[in-house]
Structure 1
Amino acid sequence: MTDEHTTDDANASKESITTHSLSRRHYLGGVGALGLASIAGYSSEGRAADSSVVSVGAGSYTTTLPSGEGSPPATVYATGDISAPYPTNDWWSSILFEQYGAPLWAHPLAAMPTSEGLDLSHPTEWTFTNDSGDSNRDNIAAMDDSTDVTLSTTGGSFADTQCAGYGDWHTDICWGANDSTTPTLDITLTQGSPFAFAEISGADAELTFAVTPTVWADQGNVLGLSVNGHHYGLFAPSGSTWSGLGSATLTSALDGAGYLTIAVLPEATTTALSRYESYAYNQITGTTVSWTYDEAAGEVRTTHTFETTDRAESSATGTIAALYPHQHKNTSTTLDGDTFVSPRGTMQTTTGTSFEMALDLPPVLPYMPDIGSVDQTRLAGYVDDVEAESPLVRVGSDTPGDGTYWTGKNYERLAQLRPIAEQVGDMTAADTFITALRTDLETWLDASVSGSTDSEDVFYYDDTWGTLIGYNDSFGSGADLNDHHFHYGYYVKGAAEIARRNPTWADASNWGEMIDHIIRDYANPSRTDSMYPFLRNFAPYAGHSWASGNAGYELGNNQESSSEAVNAYAAILQYGEYTGDTELRDLGAYLVAHETAAVDEYWYDVDEENHPSSWNYSYAAIVWGGGYKYDTWWTDDVEAIHGINALPVGGHSLSLGRNRAAAASTYTELVDANGGDYFDYWPDILWEYRAFSDPADALNLFEGRASSYAVEFGESKAHTYRWLTAMDGLGAVDASVSADTPLAAVFDDGTAKTYVAYNAADTETTVTFSDGTSLSVPANSLATTGGSSDSGGSEGSSVPTIDSVSTTTSTKGPWTNAIVDWTVSDADGDLQSVTVDLRNDAGTVLDEMTTSVSGRSASGTADLRTKNTPTTVAVMVTDAANNTTSNTTTL
């Protein structure tokens, strides 16, 4: 989250969308019986015939800013050859938003653009300050980026800076781009690079040092010098000389060639100077990440590639790159032995044009298995309690639920509840939860519902920046482009839970293309998309996401709720798996693997190597470009400080338990700071986190206050009880064992291991774990070793029967509604599901609803709708043995 968190918790010509092929399912669960047309107050006649509303499948977005809403700045500081979509939310994005930008923490270099040029430093010393309620403990650890040297020209000052180019983790900053009367200065900074590459025209180079530097090597065009205890190499073209030696200002005409490189050096030696000189003339002009998810090995492999433009003085190929801890700990690339201090810990260097790293895909489950000492009657009662809420989509003046963030948290709550209701056999509740989620989500996905100028529940496309903004926005997600991954990840999570039982809902002709837009906004895998930038929130080199859209802070960009970032990327993985879209699944796998690795290193510092040893804390609630903070944006309550990097807790959170000792240590730090384990801010979140280190203790804490604690907004008592009892039965997360499927996990209770896997395919499959264990998983089911499965029912020999079907249709505006009443039966009493869909002449499914059923007979009603012309209604009933019977009726 960003500083906007202050409470607890294009036009049609730009449409160029890749549609995703979807696998069909024979087993589908409860989607619900309530269509949008039956929402109170909805009227198709109220839909706006507005040219600014762009239809996308069954949904739409608007290109007209809703009345009264704030939008991103009208001015973008970029040269004319760069256009939208712009890569916001990066370490350097302040260049796009501000006249001179804000501090740029490239690591190991730090920089600050000014009207004169670029201030450079190599921060190595920590400073500690306090802005919390505890005056005895400094809660902020920041590196001192006091300027060592300013790189400028002899031609005077500049009106602004502008972005002149960028790659996946580098940026090109230009001074004087729009003023023909002044010189130009162009500097390339790259995350992980010790080099700053400069090009100058119309003036000489001028370097002004904080104090007179010590020059310890003078080789004419190449100088080795030290200032403020930091060591640098200056590399000018051959034939150049430096004037001003012995003073604080050096100038050079650069022999008319107009280029210059400054490098921070690991030591003040001629050996280091010579080594860095070999690469100093290879200007970085491209940075590209690529990834592969090896499903069989359960591993994500990532390649980081550097492209360079080599000057005549170059004597080596490639560049020197400094790797962060999460990179050098997980690479087989040869490391050179040079190290640099950085706010992320010790960086180690490698040379060449690329390096690779490999990460295990962390354990991810869609929900927890039905294991543990759970009282099913009690759990069913908790489900009933939520089912009785009215409304289930909580909005209004007495709740915070009407913005994108709070709306999304409620989607998470409902998505968690549906499988729990299924586990206790309450299919009515399961339908109720998914109906409420689907109905509200579809309202957001269709800008024509209330007209394009309505500020409520609508997505607006801003073509100035290339972004999709939901209004009402939350915490600066509109004007500042903050937190899109946090908010929209919840929307994708809700869509994934719908698609888990009803993949046709996610067809491109239905709601899938709008979900595709949402994913592309915050985690676009394409660099050639005309509407959205590549991986808006995720920083490929840093290995984690940034939350602030403009990064306009002294300490650079920041991210508070790393757990909500993991949730957003796990949502993509699940959505891709349920819809059969391997590109999205693999994207989610890449993002989850890296984000969780970075969380371990930089938020929790599980190896105790990266945070400053003299800081008061071993956990950071906020990671900044220049340091860490033990605090939140809205409160210094220690429960929130710890809980914000745990919520929402679910099957996607299991990486937090990979290192049980570290989880125990962090929990102890929380208890010590809180003065005990009585929690009153977010008790359920903290009990759920405690379950990673001591599930029995966590369950005891819950039981002691089960009837009296305040439930966190995105949580439910049913989910908390289900989570705690499951973790108590399963034991510790065992991440040493991987699986050949993305939705799997292994647990160890000290006596035996439990293997869990979800099969999103249409047929039964066998999942193989890396220790040789095999697990048979029925279609569309979660299974565990020991025979536990939630596939439901027993295998029977009879074929289910469709006893009656009647259909009534009506038309309102562009919509056709079909009310289908059905009755089914099965002699073996193992009914499983009934699927009803509308189809056109080509047999394309236009809308579909599935209801979970059980017993010997069942009846129900499907409320279907479509903007297209339906010609038939198809009904299919399935039993627990996957026997099916179908009936097709012509309308």
Structure 2
Amino acid sequence: MITITALNRTLTGLVATGLIGLLVACSAAPPAATDAPSPSVGRSGAEGDSAGVLGADQVGPLLQDVSQAAGKDLKPERLADGLVPPTNKWFSGLVFGDTAQPVFPLPLSFGVDAKGFAFGLPTVTTTAKTIMGGYAPIISVGTGSGTTWTVTGYDELSVTLEAAVAGKPVGSVRIAEGSPFVSFTAAGSVALTSNLPFAASGTAWSVQGGAATYGLVTSGQVSGTSVNLSSGQTATWFAVPDGGNLETMAKLAGDPLKATSASYQVGDKATTTLAYDTTNGGDTAFAAMPHQAKSLVDAGDPIGSYTSSYGTLTLYAGKKLTWTEPLQAARAGLDLSRLSAAERSELADAVKADVAALKPYPADTYFGGKALYRDAQLWEIAKQVGADAEAAKLKERVTTQLLQWAEPKGCEVRDAFCFFYDTRNHGMVGRTPSFGSDEFNDHHFHYGYFLYAAGVLAADDSGLAEKLAPVMNLLAADIATSPANEHFPARRNFDSYASHSWASGTAPFADGNNQESASEAVTAYAGLTLWARASGNHDLEVEARWMQALEAASARAYWTDFDTSDPVYAGFGHKVLPLNFGGKRDYATWFSAEPAAALAILLIPVSPSSDQLGGDAGRIAENVKEGIGSKGFEQQYGDYILMYSALAGEDARQTALKAARSFDRSTIDDGNSYSYLLAWLLSLKP
């Protein structure tokens, strides 16, 4: 039986569409605790700007001492030599596998084949279980029979593909997240063809494609379905937004996009700036997603909007998209300072029982990491409730296991409980993989648990931090290096535009990449923050806090607390959206059809840093009601839902506490414990 520990799972071999079916009220919040670094770090805060994080100068020497091996051939069939394989990106499907998959640089969809490239605004349809915004090849541009494609460059938001016919380059295409433009620059004289005839209209050419108008600007020659370019000339196509006009878009399209970048600042909030740089330094257009539109900075007036499966995208003209998000606390453990003597005694007894029932650690990187996190939380509870013998046993148990995983050459002497550097795919991989982690699925989920546990145990132990650092810093680099270097891609999983991570390594899906367990993603970056503090890496801490803030905001905006007043949700029959792809959103999971699974995948592990789960008491109650259905809390995954239910207010907490004390402990997930379940509920007391 698959348990909730089999979460997110971007299953290897599942292909394409159709395989899956997916704060303001007065209520309780997760326990308050300081978000300041531990005293050993010697900092009063993590304020700062974007900086280099775990660069080649830091990770290069570490890699010389760690086990290395060539990992799986992930088939980066369309990647230029010299580029680090871009796993876990929104465009990974363009790179890996025998056939290129469509991708979704919202507001557009885009794809390539042996005839050329195509793009278009997705037609968004909503059913009771699915919001579909799939590939829409409305405008097809022919580059020649037998065209082959190679990704020759990528940066924060954009990707560049070179088209070649009979081995000779024809030109290159650039697309970018948030951009309504698709630009082709000719490598020589080339005659492109279009499936639809573009007619002259002012300073541009245009055609009606489906429900939208599409425009084209170029200094080349356009005649109906033909576009003739000389070497170095560019043609840029675009979709005219609702409420916009062709001339405004044509002017912006005339200065093609050449590069994109991201920067951030962490102070009293997290500020993100995405820069769209054009060839001549002029303005371009970019679409703000719903979560960004609520807190834009200096955006000016909108110039139109687009419908997407994620809600209404608002289009602006300019060079930079800037918005803010509230910071989220990264806490080592629950705050149990308000417990009564009787409650502390009750918890101490629970800890003794849980410690007595502990089993050997799993050998794979998911279950193994999650068990370390679970025991680190048990240790935090034991220390606070006077279970001193159990605390000592837990500290020794977790420390010993972390040190084993952290042996740089561990994979040279054993086949489990170790990591090696994959020289083929440029990343850290566990010798015993799970859920396709050797294909780079879910690295942030897995490594976040290790980093969380290491951050907790080493918070006040600089000696332990020093021993763990070589391997833990490489796990951190695998998901947080910035900017990219020859060893790791930049922030492997994290997408600054979408403001969340992508879980699939190669994205072999016609609906784009996906993420399921948004809550584990938030926990991953909280764990990264805790490890950064324990190891004294200020720049890593700033970056981790930024990523945690954005991941938490998107988790609420698109997974658990989406704005049902947006027209895209009309007809959708559920309260949560467990599985989000680039071009599709499903009320479904990879592992179970049960409503409890659909909710619990968005809660796990209900960590001390899971503040994103709080907020609207009414919405929490609705989510819980749907999740437990007619079965109540006494079912698989019910422990997580019971904990979540207490965030709906003091009455709900009291009800949950009563239920917890008679809970069937055999149903508690192996990444959780009865002690933590009880401690969580008690820590919420006003």
Structure 2 residue 351 is matched with structure 1 residue 383: yes
Say whether residues 1:263 and 2:238 are aligned partners. Answer: yes
CA distance in 1, matches of 2:283, 2:191: 25
Tell me, yes or no, if structure 1 residue 474 matches structure 2 residue 460.
Answer: no
Q: How big is each residue's C-alpha offset from its partner over 1:546-585, in whole Å with a ceiling of 9 and x where there is no partner?
A: 0001112111010000011000000111222333322122
Residue 416 of structure 2 corresponds to 456
Aligned to 1:511: 468
**Alpha-carbon deviation of 1:96?**
2.2
Residue matched to 1:188:
174
Contact 1:60 1:514 in 2 (8 A): no
1:491 alignment partner in structure 2:
450
Query: Aligned in 2, Cα 1:501/1:560: closer, same or farther, shift over 3 Å?
Result: same
CA deviation vs aligned residue, 1:183-209 (integer Å, no higher than 9, x gap): 523111100000001123455343433
CA distance in 2, matches of 1:707, 1:646: 20
Residues 813-851 of structure 1: per-residue CA shift (max 9 Å, x gap): xxxxxxxxxxxxxxxxxxxxxxxxxxxxxxxxxxxxxxx
Contact persistence 2:411–2:419 (CA under 8 A): no
Deviates most, 219-228 or 680-689: 219-228
Q: Deviation at 1:435?
A: 1.6
Distance 2:233 2:98 in 1: 25
1:424 and 2:380 aligned:
no
Shift of 1:720: 0.4
Change (3 A) 1:691 1:442: same
Partner of 2:273: 303
Conservation of the 8 A alpha-carbon contact between 2:158 and 2:176: yes
| 1:274 match | 247
Aligned in 2, Cα 1:56/1:386: closer, same or farther, shift over 3 Å? farther
**Corresponding residue for residue 739 of structure 1:** none
* Contact 1:235 1:280 (8 Å CA) reproduced: yes
Answering whether residue 213 of structure 2 is matched by residue 224 of structure 1, we say no
Q: Given the superposition, is the C-alpha separation of residues 575 and 144 from structure 1 closer, same or farther in structure 2, using an over 3 Å criterion?
A: closer
SS of 1:61's partner is coil
- The answer as to whether partners of 2:402 and 2:468 remain within 8 angstroms in 1 is no
Matched to 2:115, the amino acid is E
| Partner residue in 1 for 2:321 | 355
What secondary structure, in the 3-state scheme, does the structure 2 residue paired with 1:375 have? helix
- Which residue of 2 is the match for residue 336 of structure 1? 302
Q: Structure 1 unaligned runs (5+)? A: 7-20, 27-53, 129-137, 311-315, 395-400, 731-891
SS at match of 1:341: strand
By relative contact order (CA 8 Å, sep 6+), the higher-ranking structure is 2
Aligned-residue CA RMSD (Å)? 2.6
After superposition, what is the alpha-carbon deviation per residue over 1:30-60, rounded to whole angstroms, capped at 9, x for unaligned? xxxxxxxxxxxxxxxxxxxxxxxx9849x95
Alignment CA distance shift 1:75-1:529 (3 Å): closer
Match of residue 83 from structure 1: 83
Which string of whole-angstrom CA distances, capped at 9 and with x for unpartnered residues, describes residues 792-827 of structure 1?
xxxxxxxxxxxxxxxxxxxxxxxxxxxxxxxxxxxx
Counterpart-to-counterpart distance in 2, 1:111 and 1:642: 31
**Aligned mates of 2:329, 2:599 — CA distance in 1:** 22
Q: Which residue of 1 aligns with 2:290?
A: 325
Check the 8 A contact 2:203/2:250 in 1, yes or no.
no
What's the CA shift string for 1:267-302, capped at 9, x where partnerless? 49xx711111112122222111111111xx3x1111
Residue 455 of structure 1: how far off its partner (Å): 2.8
Contact 1:22 1:503 in 2 (8 A): no
CA distance in 1, matches of 2:658, 2:40: 43
Match among 153, 156, 159 for residue 168 of structure 1: 156
Partner of residue 696 from structure 1, selected from 651, 654, 676: 654
Q: Is the 8 A contact 1:60 1:446 kept in 2?
A: no
Note the C-alpha offset of 1:534: 0.7
Q: For 2:245 and 2:203, how far apart are their aligned partners in 1?
A: 16
> Which whole-Å CA distance do the structure 1 matches of 2:73 and 2:95 have between them?
11
Residue 655 (str. 1) matches residue 591 (str. 2)? no
* Superposed displacement of residue 501, structure 1: 2.6
Question: Contact between 1:185 and 1:201, CA under 8 Å: does it hold in 2?
Answer: yes
Contact 1:537 1:546 in 2 (8 A): yes
Structure with greater Cα Rg:
1
Structure 1 counterpart of 2:138: 148
For 2:573, give the aligned amino acid: N
Distance between the aligned counterparts of 1:518 and 1:25, measured in 2? 20
| Count of aligned positions | 632
Structure-to-structure mapping, 1:564-713, within 5 angstroms: 564-609=520-565, 611-671=568-628, 674-693=629-648, 694-703=652-661, 705-713=662-670
Distance in 2 (CA, whole Å) between partners of 1:25 and 1:261 is: 51
Q: SS of the residue aligned with 1:553?
A: coil
Counterpart-to-counterpart distance in 2, 1:289 and 1:149: 30
Contact 1:56 1:513 in 2 (8 A): yes
Letter in 2 for 1:515: M
**Alpha-carbon contact 1:680-1:709 (below 8 Å) kept:** no
How far residue 76 of structure 1 moved from its aligned partner, in angstroms, is 4.9
Q: Judging by fraction of residues, say which structure has more strand.
A: 1
Whole-angstrom CA distance in 1 between matches of 2:475 and 2:41: 24
Alignment CA distance shift 1:267-1:377 (3 Å):
closer
Structure 1 residue 253: deviation in Å?
Answer: 1.3
Q: Distance in 1 between matches of 2:105 and 2:61?
A: 41
Shift of 1:354: 1.2
The answer to which structure has the higher helix fraction is 2
Amino acid at match of 1:284: L
Q: Percent identity?
A: 25
The whole-number CA distance in structure 1 between the counterparts of 2:41 and 2:190 is 68
Distance 1:200 1:540 in 2: 30
- Residues 148 and 228, structure 1, Cα contact 8 Å, conserved in 2: yes
Paired amino acid for 1:682:
Y
Select between 198-207 and 626-635 the one with higher mean Cα deviation.
Answer: 198-207
* SS at structure 2 position matched to 1:512: helix
Give the conservation status (yes or no) of the 8 Å contact 1:364–1:654. Answer: no
Distance 1:457 1:412 in 2: 15
Q: Which position in structure 1 is the counterpart of 2:33?
A: none
Distance 2:274 2:631 in 1: 45
Shift in Å at residue 708 of structure 1?
4.8
TM-score (norm 1): 0.68
